[in-house]
Amino acid sequence: TTPLTLLGIESSCDDTAAAVVRGTDILSSVVHTQTALHADFGGVVPEIAARAHAEKLDYCVEQALDDAGLRLEQLDGIAVTSGPGLIGGVLSGVMCAKGLAAATGLPLVGVNHLAGHALTPRLTDQLDYPYLMLLVSGGHCQFLIVQGHDSYQRIGGTIDDAPGEAFDKTARILGLPQPGGPSVEKAAQTGDAARFDLPRPLLHQPGCDMSFSGLKTAMLRARDRVIAEKGGLTAQDQADLSAGFQAAVSDILIEKTRRALAIYLALQPSCPAFAVAGGVAANSAIRQGLQALCAERGVQCIAPPLRLCTDNAAMIAYAGIERMQHGETDDMTLSARPRWPL
Ligand code: KG4
Ligand code: ZN
């Protein structure tokens, strides 16, 4: 059978993206990020995001088709993120996809954004089901046992904030630039992680749930104590606080992954595999910790390239391909769902 070729469209958060994927070949992938638009607001502003998506979608789609060297008529379908996410952005994407489907008569395939992330290791590494997945970004943090294209077992996750959000907040309170992940990681390289005693909430609780909000509060207090003592933060203080924070997040993620692996391995998969995705997976201390843990357990460890770990439309096109292979498509009643658990 010839592989299906789909256009994917993604606009659920602050990236406008379009991509063309044939089977597991990424023919093109365009991502237009809105980071600069939201920089002054300390977070994504939904109204600004929706407007920017509406403005950039057509351009991203045209660019993705151009880069792939294909015309719309040469595709087999149009996949679009139909949730979960910011409703205005998701709506913009769904309307764009419906317009293209109506104009061409191509099948329309709605995709769950989280399924897009969760299926990425199949796109990049042709991984077989079932595998264990850690999705860890600015908005998500959960462990999934991925059993099929529409079969996910969530075995734990954050009960409050996502780690990426905690990295961003930590950078803000330390006076480091946004996005916080890379700047905290850089500062941590010259820091002493043991200088500050920071909490690891839920670390010794049973199960795979995680919590990061207490750590955020502890960071604020630790910073305030240094400022009260010395009147300000030196570069070394920033480095030590960053290193302490990164070590705490890393300890939590690795300990909980150890437990998640135990649950997954009890299913006796023939080729056990663990995959990580999301912006926080870019962190080399966290990546290395996860890799070491997997090596110790004899589990294949997959960390897709960062451009496919963070929000993109190739993962949406690919998840659409898996749906279409199962004969699943949508019609013009496809709606945008702000909440949509896997
Ligand atoms: O997956 P992503 O691009 O978007 C969503 O949140 O959905 O993830 C972005 C998050 C940000 O919070 C950013 O600070 C974090 O990933 N991040 C990192 C690193 N690079 C990006 N966190 C820790 N270490 C990094 N090197
Ligand atoms: Zn995402």
Identify which ligand lies nearest to the alpha carbon of 81: 2
pLDDT at 50 over 90: no
pLDDT at 178 over 90: no
Q: Which residues surround ligand 2, an ion (CB under 5 A)?
A: 311
pLDDT for res 54: 83
Distance 117 CA to ligand 1 centre (A): 14
pLDDT in tens, 245-291: 999 999 999 999 999 999 999 999 999 999 999 899 999 999 999 99
pLDDT at 43 over 80: no
pLDDT for res 39: 75
Give, using CA atoms, the residue closest to atom 22 of ligand 1: 181
* Domains, the chain: 5-123+308-325 (3.30.420.40), 129-270 (3.30.420.40)
pLDDT for res 49: 80
Give, using CA atoms, the residue closest to atom 5 of ligand 1: 138
pLDDT in tens, 85-122: 999 999 999 999 999 999 999 999 999 999 999 999 99
pLDDT for res 161: 95
pLDDT in tens, 211-255: 999 999 999 999 999 999 999 999 999 999 999 999 999 999 999
pLDDT for res 139: 87
Global model pTM greater than 0.95:
no
Question: 311 in ligand 1 pocket by Cβ < 6 Å?
Answer: yes
pLDDT for res 323: 98
pLDDT at 42 over 80: no
Distance 10 CA to ligand 2 centre (A): 10
ipTM over 0.90: yes
Mean pLDDT of 46-71: 92
pLDDT band at 51 (very low <50, low <70, confident <90, very high): confident
pLDDT band at 187 (very low <50, low <70, confident <90, very high): very high
pLDDT band at 41 (very low <50, low <70, confident <90, very high): confident
Q: Which DSSP symbol is given to 157?
A: E
pLDDT band at 14 (very low <50, low <70, confident <90, very high): confident
Identify which ligand lies nearest to the alpha carbon of 10: 2
The alpha carbon torsion through 246, 249, 251, 256 (nearest 10 deg) reads -160
pLDDT at 35 over 90: no
Identify which ligand lies nearest to the alpha carbon of 117: 2
Amino acid identity for residue 128 in this structure? D
Identify which ligand lies nearest to the alpha carbon of 113: 2
Mean pLDDT of 30-38: 85
- Residue 116 phi/psi, 5° resolution? -55, -50
pLDDT for res 313: 98
Question: 116 in ligand 1 pocket by Cβ < 6 Å?
Answer: no
Identify which ligand lies nearest to the alpha carbon of 181: 1
Distance 128 CA to ligand 2 centre (A): 22
Question: 161 in ligand 1 pocket by Cβ < 6 Å?
Answer: no
Question: 33 in ligand 1 pocket by Cβ < 6 Å?
Answer: no
Q: 310: closest CA among 131, 138, 56, 122?
A: 138
Distance 22 CA to ligand 1 centre (A): 28
Q: Which DSSP symbol is given to 74?
A: G
Question: 164 in ligand 1 pocket by Cβ < 6 Å?
Answer: yes
pLDDT for res 267: 96
Give, using CA atoms, the residue closest to atom 16 of ligand 1: 279
Amino acid identity for residue 72 in this structure? L
Question: 137 in ligand 1 pocket by Cβ < 6 Å?
Answer: yes
pLDDT for res 34: 81
Q: What percent of the chain has pLDDT over 70?
A: 100
Mean pLDDT of 135-160: 96
**Residue among 137, 140, 286 whose CB has most ligand 1 atoms within 8 A, to mutate:** 137
pLDDT for res 1: 77
Distance 91 CA to ligand 2 centre (A): 16
Alpha helix stretches (DSSP H) within 27-149: 35-38, 46-68, 87-104, 113-125
d(CA 68, CA 161): 38
Question: 304 in ligand 1 pocket by Cβ < 6 Å?
Answer: no
Residues 6+ apart with CB under 8 A from 36: none
Distance 310 CA to ligand 2 centre (A): 6
d(CA 11, CA 80): 9
